[in-house]
């Protein structure tokens, strides 16, 4: 899929690839602003008001995600990393869905790649559950554990995101055993 995605023209294709590589939600990606990105520290800091859980989220950026940002910086038209067709507006929240339809991949959703990331961490890696859940900006543990947890496992999440990017780069050699979960 990633090979086919990279052949697609446009900002939507870059945005979807960035969403996949960061395991971020569509709204977080299309609303991303340059002021949230620190390429020197390889981090994207999504402010709490843009997060589903209303908590700031630091996203470690793999070299592949940084490459997308470098390409987007070259064509920057506004403060939005992935600008839309209208001046000073972000990409439409339908852009990824429309892209998938053009690619004749109606069996996929942008949000489904977050699930793919979670399945990959559980089935193909030894990363602890907490690291995967924090990468997805999910709450970890109960209220007591949350009260004592001060860190965000950033260094571990940086490793997991780099491994995820490498996995996404690797051609699938076992694709004939994939079963679509959606009816025709």
Which residues participate in catalysis according to the annotation?
A: 25, 52, 111, 114, 138, 148
Report d(CA 174, CA 177) in Å as an integer: 6
CB 136 within 8 A of CB 38: no
CB 160 within 8 A of CB 130: no
45 DSSP β-pair partners = 58
Residue 130 structure tokens: 């907490």
Question: By CB neighbour count within 10 A (0-12 exposed, 13-18 middle, 19+ buried), where does 56 fall?
Answer: middle
* 168-173 contacts at long range (C-beta below 8 A, 24 or more positions apart): 168/2, 168/20, 168/21, 168/64, 169/2, 169/64, 171/3
């Amino acid at each position: 899929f990633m090979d086919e995605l990279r052949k697609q023209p446009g900002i939507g294709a870059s945005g979807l690839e960035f969403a996949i590589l960061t395991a971020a939600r569509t709204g977080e990606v299309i609303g991303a602003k340059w002021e949230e990105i620190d390429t020197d520290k390889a981090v994207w800091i999504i402010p709490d008001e843009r997060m589903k859980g209303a908590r700031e989220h630091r996203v470690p950026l793999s070299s592949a995600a940084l490459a997308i940002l470098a390409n987007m910086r070259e064509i920057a038209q506004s403060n939005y990393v992935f600008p839309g067709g209208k001046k000073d507006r972000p990409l439409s929240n339908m852009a990824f869905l429309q892209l998938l339809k053009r690619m004749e991949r109606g069996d996929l959703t942008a949000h489904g790649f977050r699930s793919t990331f979670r399945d990959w961490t559980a089935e193909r890696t030894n990363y602890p559950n907490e690291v995967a859940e924090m990468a997805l900006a999910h709450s970890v543990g109960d209220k007591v554990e949350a009260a004592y947890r001060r860190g965000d496992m950033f260094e571990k999440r940086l490793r997991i995101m780099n491994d995820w990017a490498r996995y996404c780069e690797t051609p699938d050699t076992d694709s004939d055993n994939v079963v679509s979960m959606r009816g025709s």
